[in-house]
Amino acid sequence: MVGCTAVAPIAALREEPAPESCAVEDERPLDAVQVSEIAVAAAWHADDTEAPRGCRATLAARGVRFDDASPSPTIVDPIKVAPLLGDVTFRHVHDPKPRWLWVDCRFALRLHAATDLLRARGVREVLHVGTYEPKCVGGGTPESRPGCTPSAHALGMAIDVVSLVTAHDDFVFERDFVKRGDATPTCETPRRGARDTFLKELVCALDGTFNVLLTPNWDDRHKTHVHLALHPTAKAWWANGVDPQLAPE
């Protein structure tokens, strides 16, 4: 159960007052791992980040090909999805041919929804470096760190995209995304040429389809890709959107 010492910092992040019964003895800011671990104890919000009810039926109604995936202790509804979603192919950068994606059903719905925006911008293929990966926020794995906060990848709720391919060109995050020189929010930074504009405007348009979007602006670990996630704790501690100051990975 989340106690007063946890509720007050979360309320501060939301710019909401802490409960009057809570006395905050230590007002030092929490680091990202501490905040994420507190948020896991908070109630999940009542949307498709929470309950998978009807998810598979919805996928089937949208014509998405999928099948059962191997069980995972961190994925609520594990499925494998055909790599062609909404006429957009998803392929691992090291695979010569696309393979099925191992994700949570709810994330498959968001990937399918994202293809509307991708197609509208001429994207035919998304090159990525992975979806499901059993790792914890702050490092380690659920096996090596029992009780840790699972990352969005461990939840089957994230994909790391390295480039986007259109009929006549490709757009590579490490090469074409121009990093900001100050703390200006990513979606408000000046664009530096057509390639940078294409990538930034697409990422910003996907805000809402995914609730955590981390670009090369966020830190050096993301200099090669954009992390697109549907993280169940993001709204619980008000750190969602494009390159938030703190974010659950």
- Dist. CA 8–CA 173, nearest whole Å: 38
Beta bridge partners of 50: none
pLDDT band at 202 (very low <50, low <70, confident <90, very high): very high
Residue 75's pLDDT is what?
93
Q: Read off the pTM.
A: 0.76
| 69: exposed, middle or buried (Cβ count in 10 Å: 0-12, 13-18, 19+) | buried
The pLDDT of residue 156: 95
CB 42 within 8 A of CB 237: yes
pLDDT at residue 224 in the model: 86
Tokens 């059962």 belong to residue:
68
Query: Between residues 173 and 73, which one has the greater pLDDT?
Result: 173
* Burial (CB count within 10 angstroms: exposed 0-12, middle 13-18, buried 19+), residue 156: buried
Chain segment 12-39, per-residue pLDDT in tens? 322 333 333 333 333 333 344 333 332 3
pLDDT on residue 113: 95
Tell me what pLDDT residue 38 has. Answer: 29
Average pLDDT of 167-191? 91
Average pLDDT, the chain: 78
* Position 232, amino acid: P
The residue that leads in pLDDT, 143 or 226, is 226
| Range 46-69 average pLDDT | 80
CB 10 within 8 A of CB 38: yes
Residue 5 has pLDDT above 80, yes or no: no
| Residue 245, pLDDT score | 63
Distance between CA atoms of residues 184 and 89, nearest Å: 33
Say if residues 77 and 67 touch (Cβ distance below 8 Å).
no
Confidence band of 73 (pLDDT split at 50, 70, 90): confident
Least Cα distance to 212 among 197, 222, 224, 223 occurs for 222
Specify the residue for token string 């954009």: 226
